[in-house]
A = this chain, B = another copy of it.
Amino acid sequence: MQQYIPDFNSWGKPKHECGICGIFGHEDAAKLTYFGLYALQHRGQESAGIVAGNGERIAIHKDMGLVPEVFSERILQRLSGHLAVGHVRYSTTGESNIINTQPFMVTHKGEPLVVAHNGNLVNSIDLRRHLEAKGSIFQTTMDSEIVLHLLARTMEMGIERAIKESFACIRGAYSLLLMTRDTMIAVRDPNGFRPLCLGRLDNGGWVVASETCALDLIEARYERDIEPGEVVVIDKDGPRSIFPWPPHRKSFCIFEHVYFARPDSDVFGINVYQTRKRMGEILAREAKIEADFVMPFPDSGNYAAIGYSQASGIPLEMGMIRNHYVGRTFIQPTQSMRDFSVRVKLNPVRHLLKDKRVIIVEDSIIRGTTGRSRIRSLRNVGAREIHMLVSCPPTAHACYYGIDFPSSSELIAATHSIEGIRDYLGLDSLSYLSLDGMVEATGLDRNSFCLACFDGKYPISPDKSFNKDALGGCGC
C-alpha cells in the first residue's frame, strides 16, 4: 500500500473520473489492455489494474501509480490469456488506498467475478444499507463492490438475468466492464452519462474502451459506441447485444467535450478536437474583443483558442511555455518564489507579452485559483490588457455522475457573479460561451446531454440524503 501524491499537472482542474478498457480474443490481451490504459491515463492517474484470464486461470495485478509504474513486462507476461479488463482511477480522498483500486475481483461459489467501473451511483447509500441488512459486509468504499454484491445475489439466474435484475436497483452513471472466467460484458447505463465504445482488432478480437484514443494506440478499428442502456456480452461466439431495461432520455456528459476527453478521441460519435475548435469559433461570434493576440493555457485551451483565432482573425501565440519535464515535485519553493506554482508548469514569454493586449481562451474555470495565479504571472512580465474567454458557460453545480468537481461551495461560479470572478482573477474582461453556443458546437441535440453542472437540471435526482462527505463509498 502506497501513498498517493498529487502532482502539478492537475492543479485546479476537475481531477478524476476513471477509464476502462477490455480485450476479448487476442493472445496478448493484457498487453493490449495495458496500452489501452496508457492512452486513457488522462482519465485517472491514481491507480491502475488489469485482470486477465485464459478461460480457466485468472490473474490480477493492480497498484497505486501511473500505468507504466504499475506494470512491467514481467508482470504482463504473468497476466496471460485472451481476455483482459483494465482500469485507471483517480479518487478525491487524497488518501492512498490500494483497497479501492480496480478492477475489483471476488469469488462466488468458486467462480471469479470482476468489475471495472467508470461513473457514480446516486443511490449507493440506500443500496449499501439494504445489502448490509441482508448480511453483506464491505471492504471498500467503491460503488463497484455494491454492484458485485447485487450480482452475487442473483447469479443463480444466469449472468444476463442477474445483470438485468441487479442494475434495475441501481441509479446513476455507470459505464462498466464485467468479467467472468470466460466472458467479458460491457454495460452502459440507460442515460449514457459516460462514453463507452466498441472496437475490433485486425485478428478478429474485440475491444471495449472509454474513448477511441485507446483504440487508436492499439490500432483497433472503431466499430460503434455501446448504446445507453445496452449490455454487450462478448464470448467465444462474439458480441451479443441486449437491452434489458426500458429506454431513458439520453444524458451524455457534455463536460467530456468541454475538458475531460482527449481531443483526438471521438466521444458520443463526435470528434472532441473539432467540438472544442467550434466552441472557440462560436465564442468569436458571441464575444468580440480587440487585442494583439489570442493565447491558450496549453494544452487544454489550445483547440478553442485556434477556433477563436481563425474566426476572429486575431493572431494566435503561445504566450506561456510548458515545462515538459514537470512531474511530481515535492520540494517546496523558497519564500521569494511567489509565482512558483505557475512557473514550474508554464513560463510566460516575456518578449511576447510585454505591453500587449492579450485574450486568453480557457476551457473552463472551476475554482479559479490556478487561473488567478497565471494572470498575475502574465501581469508580472508586463501584459497591458488581459481578457479571458471561457469556452463553456459558468460551472455552478456539482456533478453526481462521476466527474470530481469540488462541492458547490468551492465552485467559483456558484458563489460569484461573472463580474466577481473577473475581479477575483484580476482580468480586464471575462466572457463565457453561452449554453446554446456550447451545445451548438457539438452538433447534437440539446436533449442528448446532461448539462447539470451548467444549468443545475439533474437527469436523475441525487439522493436527498446525498452528502459526499458522509458517503462511505462514492468512488467511480
Interface of A toward B, CB cutoff 8 Å: 1-9, 26, 28, 31-32, 34-35, 38-39, 41-42, 45, 57-63, 65-73, 75-76, 78-79, 98, 105-110, 112-113, 129, 132, 134-139, 148-149, 152-153, 201-203, 213, 216-219, 262-264, 266, 271, 273-274, 298-299, 302-303, 306, 309-310, 315-318, 320-334, 336-340, 343-344, 347-352, 472
Q: List 14 interface pairs A-B (beta carbons < 8 Å), by A numbering.
A: A1-B98, A6-B59, A31-B331, A66-B325, A67-B325, A109-B132, A110-B472, A113-B137, A202-B336, A216-B347, A216-B348, A273-B318, A273-B349, A274-B352
* Bound-state Cα–Cα, A277 to B109, Å: 49
**A332: which B residues are within 8 A, CB to CB?**
73
* B323–A39 touching, CB < 8 Å: yes
Interface centre among A79, A203, A331, A351 (most CB of B within 10 A): A331
* Given contacts A32-B334, A63-B3, A106 and B321 within 8 Å (CB-CB): no
Nearest neighbor of A40 in chain B, beta-carbon distance: B325
Contact of A351 among B273, B320, B352 (CB under 8 A): B273
Q: Quick one: which of B98, B132, B218, B321 contacts A262, CB cutoff 8 A? A: B321
Contact at B325–A62, with CB atoms within 8 Å? no
- In the complex, the answer to whether B9 meets A57 with C-beta atoms within 8 Å is yes
Give the CA-CA distance A298 to B318 in the complex, in Å.
Answer: 12
This protein's copies in its complex: 4
The answer to whether A3 touches B349 (Cβ under 8 A) is no
Given contacts A35-B337, A57-B9, A344-B217, contact A135 B149 (CB under 8 A): yes
Q: A326's closest neighbor in chain B, by CB?
A: B38
Q: Top 5 nearest A-B pairs by Cβ distance?
A: A41-B325, A271-B351, A264-B321, A135-B153, A106-B137
Chain B residues near A299 (CB, 8 Å)?
298, 322, 324
Determine if B135 and A219 form an interchain contact, defined as CB atoms under 8 angstroms apart.
Answer: no
Residues of B within 8 A of A336 (CB): 201-203, 218-219
When the two chains form their complex, are residues A352 and B273 in contact, meaning their CB atoms are under 8 A apart?
A: yes
Q: How far in angstroms is the closest Cβ of chain B from A14?
A: 16
CB contacts (< 8 Å) of A32 on chain B: these are 334
Q: Which of B38, B65, B274, B343 contacts A1 (CB 8 A)?
A: B65
